[in-house]
Structure 1
Amino acid sequence: MSSTKPLPAALKRWAEQRIGPVVSVRDASHSWDRSRVWDLEGGSGVHRYLKVSPSVKFFTRESRAYRHIVPALGHTRAPHLIDSRAQDLVLLLTAVPRAPVKELALDTAQWRTVHQQAGALCARLHEAGELDRGDRVKAEASLSAAADGAEKYLARAGDRLDHDEQQLVRDHAARLRRVGPVPVGYIHGNNQPRNWLWSTSGLALVDFERSRPAAHVQDFVILATTQWADHPDREKAFLLSYGRELSDAERHALRCLSALDAVNCLAWGPDNGDAEVTARGRRTLDRLMKEDRP
């Protein structure tokens, strides 16, 4: 993180009206500029988190998720919403006493256990209530909507992709439109170890600002292009507890979505100084190019 972000005094006062005196504040934001999260410690040593969403869309998604979707995960498997204030895009959340999986030195067996629990939590989230009519329409259109983003990502990435790579992305976007029906529901939207917290009590999920109605398979893209690419045992453990294998249509969609994720990474990563995201995009694109044009 390049600089510490101070908690605005007005937001601290708002939080204290709900949780009592705050004795210490720690900036817990991610490194990107629009991330604004603070760890608030109360007088009794209890921690809560205050988050200012980067946009109205993310605030709406996350506040809705905490109220209507996240409870399906179970009491200890995610933070709980204490309160929110739409005019400031702010959410006040309980803390989950676990460490980010990404920061832990896990062995092979522990990684499998983490993925097994992640699969079970993901299944609960995906089945968290019936979609209403409007959400079902959005979910069933989500793959086409993803394909619609291809040209925008390509324009932003510019010459970071050569002509053949650009054509590969366009080809996969076209194929994604022809995938056909796949299971839909509510998804996490940023399902990866950065948003998994682990302890001996088990796994918990955080960061629901991208939660939305969509094709279930969209929750597996980052895992497929990172964790599962080199560790098929982790994918096997995840899907075993998820409760089913992916259908042929989902496998096809996952490949197409991976191509779109790659160009998105190559558009966003360099512009935001995120070497990890950039590397993910380049690695995925190189793999797809090799497989499509050996």
Structure 2
Amino acid sequence: MRQTKPLPTAVQRWVEQLTGPVVAVRDASHDWHRSRVWELTGRGGARWYVKVSPSGKFFTRETRAYRGVVPALGHGRAPHLLDSRADDLALLLTVAPGVPAPGMSLASAEWRSVHSQAGMLCARLHEAGALDARDRAEAAASLAAAADGAEKYLGRAGDRLTEDEQQLVRDYAARLRRVGRVPLGYIHGDNQPRNWLWSEAGLALVDFERTRPAARVQDLVILAVTEWLDHPDREQAFLQSYGRGLTGAERQALRCLSALDAVNCLAWGPDNDHPEVTARGRRTLDRLMKEDRP
């Protein structure tokens, strides 16, 4: 059972300077030891979320995203940043409507609607303003940076991969460097249903700590190796609302990135006692090995 995390006293005092007295606190963190999020209730029933970022890098990314990128999603499509406190890496957020989509018993048609709206929101996010020179350079280098990370994750995964599997990952990392030009933009960075809130009002996105300039196709990796692999109709619904199909270069990049995601999962999942992530990596790697090394 996950241990409940207490809200730091200093953070609650800061929040109450902005909201007034907090009468109830609920730990709303993800099932990960570095995730720290709380739902707060004030007098009269007003609610907020406060998040303490895992690192200064994530804090900087998320505060920047809320100020400059997230508004492109539209009213009610994401939380709103009320204030932030760099000393504690804390963000005070409004409550977006809905509950995480995986926690709902949705029918197939409803899941297609969820993915359709996710495609629309991702398009808005990916096109949220022109990239300046610095962001464009970061985005243009993002696939090479992903390829560079392969050896680090292979080292962490160790003997969880066979020699043939390690070589497969290295081959895909090399191929990723040669896919050519792909569309760039601002990506969510952890685009998956656990960060999608579904309600009668539609879909809202949350958790922007990994939002950054990058190749847009990087936002589709988790979906491609989980949701879309078993439900191609959801991919079709997403891309139709996204406004375009993927280019040939993006399709190649997506396959390469899937291999890198697999080794990342097999490095991170066991070390963080996260069987779901571990299983995702193993399933992807087994599939790629079967398709590439029959």
TM-score band, normalised by shorter chain:
over 0.9
Any stretches of 5+ residues in structure 1 without a counterpart? none
Q: CA deviation at 1:10?
A: 1.3
CA distance in 2, matches of 1:246, 1:199: 28
Report the counterpart of residue 93 of structure 1 in structure 2: 93
**Residues 79-228 of structure 1 mapped to structure 2, 5 A cutoff:** 79-228=79-228
Report the counterpart of residue 62 of structure 1 in structure 2: 62
Q: Is the 8 A contact 2:36 2:53 kept in 1?
A: yes
Structure 1 residue 48 corresponds to structure 2 residue 48: yes
* 1:113 counterpart letter in structure 2: S
SS in 2 for 1:44: helix
CA distance in 1, matches of 2:267, 2:49: 31
CA distance in 2, matches of 1:2, 1:200: 30
CA distance in 1, matches of 2:271, 2:57: 22
SS in 1 for 2:2: coil
Any stretches of 5+ residues in structure 2 without a counterpart? none
Give the aligned length: 294
CA distance in 1, matches of 2:44, 2:68: 29
CA shift digits 1:100-144 (9 cap, x unpaired): 001111111000000000000000000000101000000000000
CA shift digits 1:13-56 (9 cap, x unpaired): 10011111111000111121111111000112121000000000
Q: CA deviation at 1:93?
A: 0.3
CA distance in 1, matches of 2:87, 2:142: 29
Q: CA deviation at 1:97?
A: 2.6
Report the counterpart of residue 73 of structure 2 in structure 1: 73
Q: CA deviation at 1:225?
A: 0.3
* 1:58 counterpart letter in structure 2: F
TM-score (norm 2): 0.99
SS in 1 for 2:44: coil
CA distance in 2, matches of 1:44, 1:64: 31
* 2:104 counterpart letter in structure 1: L
CA distance in 2, matches of 1:126, 1:206: 15
Q: Is the 8 A contact 2:97 2:204 kept in 1?
A: no
* 1:3 counterpart letter in structure 2: Q
* 1:76 counterpart letter in structure 2: G
Structure 1 residue 7 corresponds to structure 2 residue 7: yes
CA distance in 2, matches of 1:268, 1:44: 42
SS in 1 for 2:191: coil
Report the counterpart of residue 280 of structure 1 in structure 2: 280
* 1:278 counterpart letter in structure 2: T
Report the counterpart of residue 247 of structure 1 in structure 2: 247
CA shift digits 1:242-278 (9 cap, x unpaired): 0000000000000000000000000000000101000
The runs of at least 4 consecutive aligned structure 1 residues that moved more than 2 Å come to none
TM-score (norm 1): 0.99
SS in 2 for 1:51: strand
* 1:88 counterpart letter in structure 2: D
Report the counterpart of residue 258 of structure 1 in structure 2: 258
Q: CA deviation at 1:63?
A: 0.4
Report the counterpart of residue 230 of structure 1 in structure 2: 230
SS in 2 for 1:116: helix
CA shift digits 1:209-256 (9 cap, x unpaired): 000000000000000000000110000000000000000000000000
Q: Is the 8 A contact 2:76 2:97 kept in 1?
A: no
Q: CA deviation at 1:96?
A: 1.2
Aligned-pair Cα RMSD in Å: 0.6
SS in 2 for 1:77: coil
The share of aligned pairs that are identical, in percent, is 75
Report the counterpart of residue 268 of structure 2 in structure 1: 268
CA distance in 2, matches of 1:192, 1:30: 13
